[in-house]
Amino acid sequence: MTLKQVLNRARGILVANNIEQARLECELLLRYALRLSRVQLYLDLDQELGSEAEADFWHLIKRRLNGEPTAYIIGHREFYGLDFYVEPSVLIPRPESELLVEKALELAQNGTVSSIAEIGTGCGAIAISLALNLPQAKIYATDISASALKVALLNCQKHGVEDRVCLLHGDMLNPLPEPVDLIIANLPYVKEIELPRISPAGFEPRLALNGGRDGLEKIRQLCQPVGDRLCPEGCLLLEIGQGQAGTVTTLLSYLFPSAKIEVVPDLSGIDRVVSLTFRATTAGEKFKIKEQAIR
Ligand code: GLN
């Protein structure tokens, strides 16, 4: 069979198994099996595939049908136009999280953002995208998972920003040495009960997805003390899940009544990012955070 024929057959199988973006995934897997660049794949489409290479490719398709994400099989994933190493200790970056990067860059354009902290950085995709687009900014990236930080370090080295992104091991805001202008986070926000639907084969780390009973446990944990860790007029950018905007904005306006709160939809129209900006006149408010547990 030619490469084109093999691709078409594999795509049909993936489609029949309800795998979205079947064509793209088959191409990525075939390129990985044959160690081909994208251009080379297109140039070779009418070439015959050797039997050993074909067996390798079908083996990868079998793994994919077993639920293993393509990004883990091939070991990398594109995010914000950049390529990142991924492995099962880190969540695979999602296209909708690019909105967090876009919003952060907008803020940086309209004001002074000289220091940024990403909480729960995983493979480092968000922190590194910001580091590359904001060459003057000082960037911290924290994660509770030491194995995730190892992947983040590899990605920092791959993109030449290991001196600019300070990786810190620890829970939430704890490892931050100083207040910053912007805190950005894609925390776990999936309801525990929905984990089997989001990650049916369980390949992705639960730690990075599990937001507890109502999905908002980690977001609540971050919001309560966040005022202490932001500079005056600082900003928080949070990724949220479908249907969470109301609860998160209510919580934030309760904690920080005079701050400006905005909700931004993603390309599918789902409310995806919540931003909280302290105003100069009300900056003192964030140091008087209410003590009681928010439920
Ligand atoms: N957006 C991811 C998903 O629904 C969840 C990521 C997260 O919990 N932060 O697959």
Distance 168 CA to ligand 1 centre (A): 22
Pocket test for ligand 1, best of 98, 187, 209 (most atoms within 8 A of CB): 209
In this structure, the residue with its CA closest to atom 9 of ligand 1 is: 188
Residue 289's pLDDT band (cuts 50, 70, 90): very low
Q: Collapsing DSSP states into helix, strand and coil, what is residue 112?
A: coil
Give the list of residues 6+ apart from residue 127 with CB closer than 8 angstroms, or none: 116, 118, 121, 139, 140, 141, 152, 165
Atom of ligand 1 nearest to the CA of 211: 8
Average pLDDT, the chain: 94
pLDDT at position 281, please?
A: 60
Calculate mean pLDDT across residues 13-40. 96
Q: Give pLDDT tens digits for 115-174.
A: 999 999 999 999 999 999 999 999 999 999 999 999 999 999 999 999 999 999 999 999
**Which residues pair with residue 115 across a beta bridge?**
138
Cβ of 190 below 6 Å from ligand 1: yes
Pocket test for ligand 1, best of 86, 189, 197, 244 (most atoms within 8 A of CB): 189
Give the list of residues 6+ apart from residue 185 with CB closer than 8 angstroms, or none: 118, 119, 120, 222, 236, 237, 238, 239
Cβ of 273 below 6 Å from ligand 1: no
- Main-chain dihedrals φ then ψ at residue 247, nearest 5 degrees: -65, -40
* pLDDT above 80 (res 286): no
pTM of the complete model: 0.93
**CA atoms within 13 A of residue 214's CA, in its CB half-sphere:** 10
Domain ranges of the chain: 3-66, 91-294
Distance 190 CA to ligand 1 centre (A): 6
Maximum distance among all Cα pairs of the chain, rounded to whole angstroms: 70
What amino acid is encoded at 270 in this protein?
I
* pLDDT above 50 (res 52): yes
Atom of ligand 1 nearest to the CA of 186: 9
Strand 230-239 relative to strand 180-185, pairing: parallel
User: How does DSSP assign 167-178, residue by residue?
Assistant: EEESSTTTT--S
Distance 223 CA to ligand 1 centre (A): 18
pLDDT at position 285, please?
A: 52
Residue 111's pLDDT band (cuts 50, 70, 90): confident
Residue with tokens 């015959």: 48
Residue 3's pLDDT band (cuts 50, 70, 90): very high
Domain 3-66 matching CATH 2.60.120: the answer reads no
In this structure, the residue with its CA closest to atom 10 of ligand 1 is: 198
What amino acid is encoded at 4 in this protein?
K
* pLDDT above 90 (res 58): yes
Q: Give pLDDT tens digits for 228-262.
A: 999 999 999 999 999 999 999 999 999 999 999 99
Answer yes or no: same fold for 3-66 and 91-294: no
Distance 96 CA to ligand 1 centre (A): 9
Of residues 198 and 282, more confidently modeled? 198
Of residues 204 and 283, more confidently modeled? 204
Residue 202's pLDDT band (cuts 50, 70, 90): confident
User: How does DSSP assign 219-239, residue by residue?
Assistant: HHHHHTTGGGGEEEEEEEEEE
Domain 91-294 matching CATH 3.30.465.10: the answer reads no
Atom of ligand 1 nearest to the CA of 199: 10
Atom of ligand 1 nearest to the CA of 94: 1
